[in-house]
Amino acid sequence: SSMASPRSIGSPSQAKHPQVYQIDFTAVASGKRIASTKRRVRWRFGFANPEALAQGLTGTDCRGEEHDVTIVWSITSGKQNKLHIS
């Protein structure tokens, strides 16, 4: 069975993947009594503004939709305590 790759679907302008950029990444030990028993990982990233890219703009002029993902979990039990996506 052959499947079309995402690049071959639709018009050439629609087939392009959005440009993704990293804003920040942190991973810290955050247990209440023993820090090493809990981890907090945070990713901040964004998708570049396609209109700004098309105009030839660069750097911060191309910032678009941005997201923040934070996961907190217990290392000892494996239990995930919190998942926050914005």
* DSSP-based three-state secondary structure for 14: helix
Find the mean pLDDT for residues 2-26: 61
- Position 76 confidence tier, pLDDT thresholds 50, 70, 90: confident
Find the mean pLDDT for residues 3-9: 36
Residues 6+ apart with CB under 8 A from 1: none
- Position 43 confidence tier, pLDDT thresholds 50, 70, 90: very high
Q: What is the pLDDT of residue 2?
A: 41
* DSSP-based three-state secondary structure for 51: helix
The backbone torsions φ and ψ at residue 58, rounded to the nearest 5 degrees and listed phi first, read -140, 170
**Do the beta carbons of residue 29 and residue 56 sit within 8 Å?**
no
Task: Give the predicted TM-score (pTM) of the model.
Answer: 0.64
Q: What is the pLDDT of residue 23?
A: 94
Query: Beta strand pairing status for 80-85 and 20-29?
Result: unpaired
